[in-house]
Amino acid sequence: YLKISKLALAFAIIHSKPPGKSCREYTEHLAKTVSKQDFGWKSKVEALEAEILRLRQELLLNKICPRFCLENDASAETLLDQECINPMSYSSQLEDSGCDVSNDYAFDSLGIASDFHQFEHNFDTSKHWLERAPPLNLCSTGKGESLTAPVQFLQHLLEIRKLSEGGILQANFTELENDSFTISNSVSQLLDGLTIFYNSPKFPVSNFLTEAVCVLISLITDTKLSNHVLKKCAKKLEEFKKNLIQIILRNSSVNRFQALHAVSHTLLLLGRNNILRNSLISLLLSEVRQFAEQLLQTHQVLSSF
């Protein structure tokens, strides 16, 4: 049946071939046309899947805590836009060879000692959280869209958790058992977004990137929410850490130091977490061991000369 189908397609192409074009050229033209249509459908499917996830996220938050304010606003995108509209002097850094990065302003937002503690401090259990929590906008477009949606959803989830612990809100977290898919899918989306950024970073590095990593760590640290992440996304999380390490090891571009600073900072933030620390150290030691073995092999080869 497959052979007959291929033969029939070949005859159809030959018969419909316009004059002045070879069969090969016409076949390639048809293949490009079909692939463009496939790409269009894929884009539509991805957009619909993103919309479904957005609705599931909104529905889950509403089920957990109907009182929690769900508004559509562009606060996260505004943060990203402001940082890109008002950049400081980054041009000299990006044009430099990378050997001397004396102006570390680009990474002031990546201060290791204070970022995570500051983020934790912001989760004070007060009624003002309802007023100053960033409104939910999960169908964002433009810069940072791969990070904005999952970060805002997970951030609201953590806010509800803290407020319910303080007795300010009444929340029903049993709903998480019925819809763990939404959390795990949101975490996967967040990890994919971070990986995309680190593979081809854009400068200046946004504060929102550090916030995204802190949200991930807070989610893993939370006793009620961590199981939904660690059970469903353990493999994805491990791959994410491996990718970060490989990005550092394989990046050989001249101006790589700005990008590697951001990646190493994320590794340090992850390493501060007790749950992630052991596996991260194991991955790093494994790379060190492999490098030592390569050095030994090279030494043995060279010694024969």
Q: Give pLDDT tens digits for 221-279.
A: 888 788 877 888 889 999 999 999 998 888 877 777 877 888 888 899 999 988 899 99
What pLDDT does 67 receive?
67
Highest mean pLDDT of the ranges 38-42, 77-81, 107-111, 214-218: 214-218
DSSP, res 198: H
pLDDT of residue 8: 92
Mean pLDDT of 1-27: 89
Structure tokens at 305: 């000369």
Going from the C-alpha of 239 to that of each of 126, 145, 188, 222, 244, the distances in angstroms are 37, 22, 11, 21, 9
Tell me: pLDDT of 212 over 50: yes
| Mean pLDDT for all residues in the chain | 76
Q: How much is the average pLDDT of 281-300?
A: 93
Whether the Cβ atoms of residue 222 and residue 161 lie closer than 8 Å to each other: yes
Tell me which residue of 22, 205, 216, 190 sits closest to 108, measured CA to CA.
205
Burial of 285 (0-12, 13-18, 19+ CB in 10 A): exposed
pLDDT in tens, 173-188: 887 778 888 888 999 9
